Amino acid sequence: MAPDRIRVNERIRAREVRVIDEEGNQLGVMPPYEALKLAREAGLDLVEISPNADPPVCKIVDYGRYRYQQSKKEHEQRKHQRAGQIKEVKLRPSTAEHDYQVRKNHIEEFLSRGLKVRVMIFHRGREMAHPEVGREKMQRLLKDLEHVAQVEVPPRMEANILFALLAPKKGLSRRSTSSAQPGSAAQESPPA
């Protein structure tokens, strides 16, 4: 709830409120002026925490601390929502080998962090005459990533864009995907 919508102290207009003290003990249903009197005796505020309940629920707390706790909860919720983000990686049918490898490594990194990746191959101008070049590049990329990715949406063409959606492979921990990458330092060391 937005801080400007939270009713505090004299702004509470209900006829009766259910009151909870700072330890979480229920004090019962009473008129707001009695609850406010209890809050003032404790040196705290009366905050309406559940306005839609019947009767509304109010808690005796320090309002500043209450707002801080609420903002922390909202921040945690937003942080967990970001986990479902989809990263986008764009290529062209004529992408050079080095650039291809860089983008492939980015995709592996995103997948290892548990993010989904939308891979898009843009065709421009005369490249539209040979969409099979883009398809071959996409198939190669999917084959190179099959150890860390599962294809959620198979490659399909929409207008001039060939795209596929990749998700992290189930059963792999986030750390094991980075150590399982081909070409990692452990695999490249020469035999002694």
Q: How far is CA 82 from the centre of its chain?
A: 2
- Answer for the pair 116, 86: CB distance below 8 angstroms, yes or no: yes
Say yes or no to pLDDT of 130 above 70.
yes
pTM exceeds 0.75: no
CATH number of the domain to which 51 belongs: 3.10.20.80
- 140-174 pLDDT, tens digit per residue, is 999 999 999 999 889 999 889 999 999 998 866 55
Q: Beta partners for 63?
A: none
Number of C-beta neighbours around residue 166 at 10 A? 26
Say yes or no to pLDDT of 16 above 50.
yes
Write out the E strands in the chain.
17-20, 26-30, 45-50, 57-61, 86-91, 116-122, 149-158, 161-168
Residue 18 lies in a domain: yes
Total domains present in the chain: 2
pLDDT value of position 83: 56
Domain hosting 17: range is: 3-80
pLDDT value of position 3: 55
| Same domain (yes/no): 64, 136 | no
pLDDT value of position 183: 46
